[in-house]
């Protein structure tokens, strides 16, 4: 199986400056390639491809010493990144979606560089003689890595990413062995929520930590400070780094919480069923238009903020990866009417949902917590699908 390992880098001051220069030069290469494509089509209706731009790299590196000090393969990966953006642009046009033409990257909009092959301009050294884990990057040197876990499998690609003042390395590994857990023979359905992060079909709940609400005051103060700073000044740069640090902390907290809950689930259940949520649709704005204004806009905005703070999408992705590694089965079911259907008599009506938390069937008077009912119906749908597929 494939797996990505992400570690914190411990660069020296000189290495941090070199990493920043590496990202900046790759950003300029990306923007120059985008400008060439735009001008070629605007002036002569000519489509410039990745192969055309990759063939120019040798001349660019020979003429520009700043570009020549970096790995040739990493620069090719940056050009492929632009090519993928154009491929997605044309795909969206054909599908009738919002096109989203590729944009030039500002200094704060380009924070990562990829080396497509371990050993080609980069090298992962997981067992150095000094006893410290390091990664070698051409033009930067050997950088210390805070490797908090062992890397399994074969390292294929190496990427670096800047988050505020921190630098991280991501290793994409192939042939990672699975580590199946002992079969328990238990199945569970889970219902995602905002009041509780999730509720299982057997009545267990995981609290929603609401990290954004806990940091809202500090984040708002940092953003007000940033808004008052003059553009281009050092004080604005420091204020921007402060906001980025708070946002990065929120991201780490959410990811840590998602990992812990997902690990608990795969350790206690063999079969896990969850709702197939369309989070982008659930968090659409209710503002409406000038002719048809929305209703309850503030309340919907607050709900959207709570849903995004819970990070359901990231949690489900992490749960799927952990289930694959542990040999567990995970399945997504249609969430339609799962919180309105009685698990006893199967009667479905919106009147069954008395309040946000209470469920009482109008036919058989079965009563339970609405989230537990939803999780039970998710599990039932999963068992029904399994029985139909095995028949």
Could you report the per-residue pLDDT of 298-356, keeping only the tens digit for each?
888 888 999 999 999 999 999 999 999 899 999 999 888 888 899 889 899 888 888 88
DSSP letter (8 states) at residue 375: H
Is the per-residue pLDDT at 130 higher than 80? Answer: no
pTM metric for this prediction? 0.85
Is residue 127 very low, low, confident or very high in pLDDT (cuts 50, 70, 90)? low
CB atoms within 10 A of CB 185: 7
Maximum CA extent, the chain: 80
Residue 320 structure tokens: 């799927």
- The string of pLDDT tens digits covering residues 10-63 is 999 999 999 999 999 999 999 999 999 999 999 999 999 999 999 999 999 999
Whether the CA torsion 17, 19, 25, 27 is positive or negative: it is negative
Residue 105 structure tokens: 């990257």
Q: Sheet holding 205-207: strands in order across?
A: 205-207, 196-200, 187-192, 271-275, 329-333
Whether the CA torsion 266, 270, 275, 278 is positive or negative: it is positive
Q: Is 45 left (phi over 0), alpha (psi -120 to 50) or beta?
A: left
Are 163 and 19 within 8 A, CB to CB?
A: no
**Pair type for strands 134-137 and 154-163:** unpaired
How far apart are the C-alpha atoms of 5 and 1, rounded to whole Å? 13
Q: Where are the beta strands (DSSP E) in the chain?
A: 3-10, 112-115, 122-125, 134-137, 141-146, 154-163, 166-174, 187-192, 196-200, 205-207, 271-275, 329-333, 358-360, 367-369
- The string of pLDDT tens digits covering residues 202-248 is 999 999 999 999 999 999 999 999 999 999 999 999 999 999 999 99
How far apart are the C-alpha atoms of 10 and 232, rounded to whole Å? 28
Question: How many angstroms separate the Cα of 37 from the Cα of each of 57, 59, 81, 88, 343?
Answer: 15, 18, 14, 15, 58
How far apart are the C-alpha atoms of 254 and 341, rounded to whole Å? 31
Question: How many angstroms separate the Cα of 286 from the Cα of each of 84, 194, 234, 282, 390?
Answer: 32, 18, 39, 10, 43
Comparing CA positions, the residue from 332, 324, 327, 312 lying closest to residue 261 is: 312
- The string of pLDDT tens digits covering residues 180-192 is 888 888 999 999 9
Mean pLDDT of the chain: 91
Is the per-residue pLDDT at 155 higher than 60? Answer: yes
How far apart are the C-alpha atoms of 193 and 372, rounded to whole Å? 11
């Amino acid at each position: 199986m494939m797996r990505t390992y992400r570690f914190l880098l411990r660069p020296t001051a000189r290495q941090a400056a070199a990493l920043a220069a590496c990202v900046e030069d790759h950003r300029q290469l990306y923007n120059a390639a985008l400008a060439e494509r735009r001008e070629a089509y605007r002036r002569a209706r000519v489509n410039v491809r990745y192969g055309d731009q990759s063939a120019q790299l040798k001349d660019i590196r020979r003429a520009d010493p700043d570009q020549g000090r970096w790995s040739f393969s990493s620069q090719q990966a940056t050009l492929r990144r632009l090519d993928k953006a154009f491929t997605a642009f044309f795909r969206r046009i054909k599908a009738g979606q919002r096109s989203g033409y590729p944009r030039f990257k500002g200094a704060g909009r380009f924070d990562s560089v990829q080396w497509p092959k371990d050993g080609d301009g980069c090298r992962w050294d997981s067992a150095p003689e000094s006893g410290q884990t390091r990664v070698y990057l051409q033009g930067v040197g050997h950088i210390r890595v805070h490797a908090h876990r062992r890397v399994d499998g074969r390292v294929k690609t190496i990427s670096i990413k800047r988050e505020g003042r921190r630098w991280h390395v991501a290793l994409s590994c192939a042939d990672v062995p699975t580590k199946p857990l002992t079969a328990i023979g238990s199945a569970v359905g889970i219902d995602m929520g905002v009041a509780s992060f999730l509720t299982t079909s057997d009545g267990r709940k995981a609290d929603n930590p609401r990290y954004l609400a806990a940091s809202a005051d500090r984040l708002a103060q940092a953003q007000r400070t940033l808004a008052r700073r003059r553009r281009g000044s050092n004080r604005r740069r420091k204020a921007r780094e402060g906001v980025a640090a708070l946002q990065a902390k929120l991201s780490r907290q959410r990811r840590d919480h998602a990992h812990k809950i997902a690990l608990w689930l795969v350790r206690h259940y063999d079969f896990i069923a969850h709702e197939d949520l369309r989070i982008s649709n659930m968090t659409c704005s209710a503002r409406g238009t000038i002719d048809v204004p929305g209703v309850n806009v503030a309340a919907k905005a607050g709900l959207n903020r709570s849903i995004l703070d819970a990070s359901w999408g990231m949690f489900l992705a992490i749960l799927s990866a952990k289930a694959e590694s542990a040999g567990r089965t995970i399945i997504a079911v249609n969430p339609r009417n799962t919180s309105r259907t009685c698990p006893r008599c199967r009667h479905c009506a919106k009147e069954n949902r008395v309040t946000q938390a209470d469920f009482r069937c109008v036919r058989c008077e079965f009563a339970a917590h609405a989230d537990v009912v939803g999780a039970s119906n998710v599990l039932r749908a999963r068992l029904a699908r399994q029985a139909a597929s095995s028949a």
